[in-house]
Amino acid sequence: MKLMDCQCTRKKNRTINESAMPEELLRQTDRHPCYSFDAHHKYARMHLPVAPACNISCNYCNRKYDCVNESRPGVTSEVLTPYAALEKFSLVKEKLDNLSVVGIAGPGDALANWNDTRDTIKLIKQSDPGIIFCLSTNGLLLPDHAGELVRLGVRHVTVTVNCLEPETGGEIYKFVNYKGKLYEGSKAAGILINNQLEGIKYLTANEVMVKVNIVMIKGVNDGQIPDVVKKVKELGVFITNIMPLIPAPGSAFADFPRTDARELKKMRDICQFELRQMYHCQQCRADAIGLLREDISHQFRGAVAGKDSPTVQKAV
């Protein structure tokens, strides 16, 4: 795709006081392909699939780990230990001169696998202090771990916030497993939403660039998305990414229609007047490598050997 054809080159809506953010953080953000409107043409990212467990059940999700032909969140061909992740990072870094970002985006939830996530961050940062590290989370455990994320030097965090109303959340989430107790329906969604907002507020107050992902589900939460964008703007979020529903086979929403591209664009266009929007999201795999539009993760599958070699795990 030519640069002139890419929707992400449209006028950027700067709605937060960037002058209050550290210059180094702004420079890093300019090299982060998911946060920058221009960087995804130039800089590569690498997702390290070290987080297989998840603590919520989304009705649109089916975490099929071993499918090499699908490109969507929650899919990976292998799950790595922290040391295997470090070894693979070193290998990829040698091959990709434009690698700027390393992230953890599953295949489950980064914070639900906190020990491995924390160890991976430490190992990568010890190996390359200048690398930009980010992670994605559903936000359930953000109040528990946001402080340590800040102390570890993680300055880019993505949180998926699909709604503000617990009743709507009850239609999106099957259950939430919080502190050893299983919650369902609007009760589960209420806990999740509260923790998401509390965690986001803490992160933005501590100089973390937060991106909020929103899955647009026709007839469920689509009418509430502008309210979500407005709310997270109030909390200091940098950018929102409204994504189309991918009806994953085997999920509760498997028979739902995929979000229409024209309706998605219209929603993004409406919300860009409130807060800047990400138009170039590719809904990447949990083991994606390379430019956003040129995933080359297949070139590195099974490349790590030894006692900490990657293992392929089936969804549970």
User: Per-domain residue ranges for the chain?
Assistant: 32-60+68-289
pTM of the model: 0.85
Backbone angles phi, psi at 130, to 5 degrees: -90, -5
Per-residue pLDDT of the chain (316 residues; tens, 9 = 90+): 333 334 443 334 444 545 566 777 767 666 667 676 665 556 778 889 999 999 998 988 775 544 444 445 556 668 899 999 999 999 988 888 888 789 898 888 999 999 999 999 999 999 999 888 999 999 999 999 999 999 999 999 999 999 999 999 999 999 999 999 999 999 999 999 999 999 999 999 999 999 999 999 999 999 999 999 999 999 999 899 999 888 777 788 888 888 888 999 999 999 999 998 977 665 667 788 876 666 666 676 766 754 444 443 332 3
| pLDDT (tens digit per residue) in 90-107 | 998 888 888 878 989 888
102 neighbors 88 (Cβ within 8 angstroms): no
159 neighbors 138 (Cβ within 8 angstroms): yes
CA 127 to chain centre: 23
Gyration radius of the chain's alpha carbons: 18
202 neighbors 236 (Cβ within 8 angstroms): no
Judge if the upstream peptide bond of residue 107 is cis by omega within 30 degrees of 0. Answer: yes
Q: How far is residue 24's CA from residue 183's CA, in Å, rounded to a whole number? A: 41
CATH T-level fold of 32-60+68-289: TIM Barrel (3.20.20)
One-letter amino acid at 34 equals C
Name, in order, each residue with C-beta under 8 angstroms of 23's C-beta and a sequence gap of 6 or more: none
The b-or-e profile of 8-40 (16+ CB within 10 A means b, else e) is: beeeeeeebeeeebeeebeebbebbbbbbbbbb
